[in-house]
Amino acid sequence: MRLFIAIDLPETWRELLAKPQESIGWLGRGVKWVDPKGTHLTLKFLGEVSPNLLDPVKAAAARACEQFPAFTMRLKGTGVFPDPKRPRIYWAGVQAPETLFELQAEVEREIEELGFEHEERKFSPHLTIARIKEPAGKQRMTEALLNFKMESEPVTVTETVLIRSHLSEDGARYEPLAYFSLRHV
């Protein structure tokens, strides 16, 4: 099973994430826009997981989540990985309190105790909008994306979700397997 732990997004965010493609998508080819319906804020990608580890993964995620209170976050800004001169990923930024970073670190720690590899890259909360297939000649589109006003109202995060992704020729399909509540204040 291919699994990851994430924060699900409200429908209003999914609508906002579709706006850049609608507004600037015509500026260039070689960009694969991500369908916002399948977008999540990933806290930990687990990869292929043996079914006998499913219950321990659920228990670890639950332990991590129960330590943190609900918090608010919002979409704010856009950006490019690795940099605007060599765009490979267009993304929307997520503005959140330190609680999000602490939650992600605790999920990472709990999962690592089950034998999963530690993620070396620093957690950078973002939502992928598009993947760039042909980075050459994308200056105009990249500039338009970086100037795109992306901002949402704050939303309250009360839970995380363990998601199984089913890959196929038609793209990924996501199946929620379990929800983990944050601590009630």
For the chain, how many structural domains are there in total?
Answer: 1
CATH number, domain at 42?
A: 3.90.1140.10
52-93 pLDDT per residue, tens: 999 999 999 999 999 999 999 999 999 999 988 889 999 999
The encoded tokens of residue 148 equal 């795109």
What does each C-alpha distance from 110 to 62, 163, 182, 183 come to in angstroms?
Answer: 10, 17, 15, 17
pLDDT above 70 for 44: yes
Q: Which uninterrupted H or E stretch holds 72?
A: strand 71-83
pTM for the full model? 0.90
The yes-or-no answer on residue 166 being catalytic is: no
Query: Token digits for 19?
Result: 């706006």
Residues 46 and 154: beta-carbon distance below 8 Å: no
Domain that residue 159 falls in: 2-181
One of 118, 126, 166, 184 is an active-site residue; which one? 126
126 is catalytic: yes
